[in-house]
Amino acid sequence: ETGVTQTPRHLVMGMTNKKSLKCEQHLGHNAMYWYKQSAKKPLELMFVYNFKEQTENNSVPSRFSPECPNSSHLFLHLHTLQPEDSALYLCASSQLAEGPSSYNEQFFGPGTRLTVL
């Protein structure tokens, strides 16, 4: 295991539902990420949190709302989703460090398979 856990692993929801995805990292990292992976498409970065502050929002629709209460936990709140939002949602964490020799390797969780009906 990578040290990053996600719950639930599978989620089916209607377009009018409200649900939340949870991510927890046990690695002591200072950055966390949400990615979307649709079928036959590259991973798309959604949000980045550095030291609990959101530093990236890649033009994500407002029906996706992230929350980072501390450096170990990350949530993605979902409401009024569309069928095209069905995808694998991946959380990742890394320890950011300055300098050309730093790899800033990201560790991914197992993902939440989301189906919107």
Partner 1 sequence: KNQVEQSPQSLIILEGKNCTLQCNYTVSPFSNLRWYKQDTGRGPVSLTIMTFSENTKSNGRYTATLDADTKQSSLHITASQLSDSASYICVGNVTSAGNMLTFGGGTRLMVKP
Q: Which stretch binds partner 1 (CB under 8 A): 13-21, 67-75, 77-85, 101-109?
A: 101-109
- In this structure, how many other beta carbons lie within 10 angstroms of the beta carbon of residue 46? 20
Q: Is 71 in the site for partner 1 (CB under 8 A)?
A: no
Distance of CA 5 to the CA centre of its chain: 11
Among 34, 76, 111, 116, interactor with partner 1 by CB under 8 A: 111
Q: Which stretch binds partner 1 (CB under 8 A): 12-20, 66-74, 79-87, 104-112?
A: 104-112
Q: Is 25 in the site for partner 1 (CB under 8 A)?
A: no
Q: Residue 69 CB, nearest distance to partner 1 (Å)?
A: 21
Pick from 49, 40, 47, 54: nearest CA to 87:
40
The residue (of 93 and 116) whose beta carbon lies closer to partner 1 is 93
Place of tokens 């377009």: 15
Please report the beta strands in 14-101, taking only residues with DSSP state E, as ranges in sequence order.
Answer: 18-25, 31-37, 44-50, 53-57, 64-70, 73-79, 87-94
Pick from 36, 47, 94, 95: nearest CA to 75:
47
The residue (of 16 and 42) whose beta carbon lies closer to partner 1 is 42
Q: Residue 67 CB, nearest distance to partner 1 (Å)?
A: 20
